[in-house]
Structure 1
């Protein structure tokens, strides 16, 4: 049975003022009624250029992770050109003819990797206004190039360059997050899987939507990863839930947006908070984003780090294999 892609529905709906009913969210989820209008949330912005003052960087990252679960980093060391190349090749892939994209479509055997539309069990049959592409970019032994586009020809080069540069940034971030918990610098990374930590690239493609007031790109969620590092294109769409309301997040050009995910919340025994967020869509413009999820390998057991469990702060989470956590999360089962 042929899978219908959102990109195809968008081109058919272009001149209509309506969208198929399965994309219309329930009233309490519809962006028009649930977003605080006219306010753009300024999440913490942390400048990484002054590494002579590590204590300050550690403090700011720790505060942002405890109080927000999200922050943006600037002067992070990834050249603007490397980010632009990543964005360009991703956009060019989604602009290819449908038949060419379907060559790397997800299958029952491919698991999460490949080109697709559905990600998890959909409540009440409702769907997100988004297509996506997943593939692993690190470590080298986890990569399956069958799920990397062959077109555009520079796709692999752009993604490999970005992966290498991102690894340097993520190593610093996990070190500083670890120090912010009072741990040794390497402890958090080791608990996440060390050098075997999986870097999973996702490209989200949200085509123009005739009724952005009724639809969502990605429904409200926390990321099941340990850490997510994301670049968006220039089209607004990321929203964060704060003080019982949904807010648009202000983008800083060429910043990296960092989300604390479920696994770091668990490892930190709840000291760091996974951010509750969602994606909206745009009537005129295509929104895209490039999150990279840092995930423990499937068999790694994740639970609160022993040093962070005390009589005053008993373990708040069960310890379980990451693959079991993922299964429960995607199938909406209790953890």
Structure 2
């Protein structure tokens, strides 16, 4: 009974939100009134979450400042190559999730190119991070409320720099044609206010059409989307995205607070977390469970080298096009 109460307390305590390309936060919704018979569990709760509260009660700034003389990064750990992933394409030098960013990522040292996809009103797959058009285009409102033709009329580049004016929002099909297996593509399947109908099957069909299953990986925060992929496709690798896991407790965060082990993700090849949670202990635990781990999103070379030394398998970075790699 106390464990059930504790689980209820945790679920009420946190809500995960992603506020843009560089920040996320956890809302602390802890009720003001405490019950005496929760004392032990509340004590354990605060003991294990003290560090988390210090780190994540405010927005976490994910990007570091580049020094005048960039530190080189070494993407090898115990003779094993660590995969550098261009987050939203080469988003440090071009507008995220555009063909310009994809092309610059193709010209970079990155091993993977990461993109995000949503579904339009007319069921077309477009490459954007947010569920709305407001932040990275001249449009407004939900992607799901606009047709592809409407979205193609928008400027998706000038918000970043004037030289990218009139850059369009690409479709997944356009990205597949551009990449052509020259690098691996890590595709995150997103959701809007609701889950997009049939999106997972659409993605799988496109990968088959372009013979891209050997060089694409699918990932999502949402278990419902991963289940749809697993039911219909056995050849494309999948990654489970989450914020992180609490040490010593069977508690982890994806879009909300969850309880239990990672056993139910046995069909995924990797568990990908925010780099603040990628301790040496966590990396060892994930590896012992049979998973790899790619961490998101870190641009500082010194921090990247620390993570490589901890044994992570992949680094997602906005700065993949500008990092100095040994």
Question: Does TM-score exceed 0.5, indicating one fold?
Answer: no
How high is the TM-score relative to the length of structure 1? 0.25
How high is the TM-score relative to the length of structure 2? 0.26
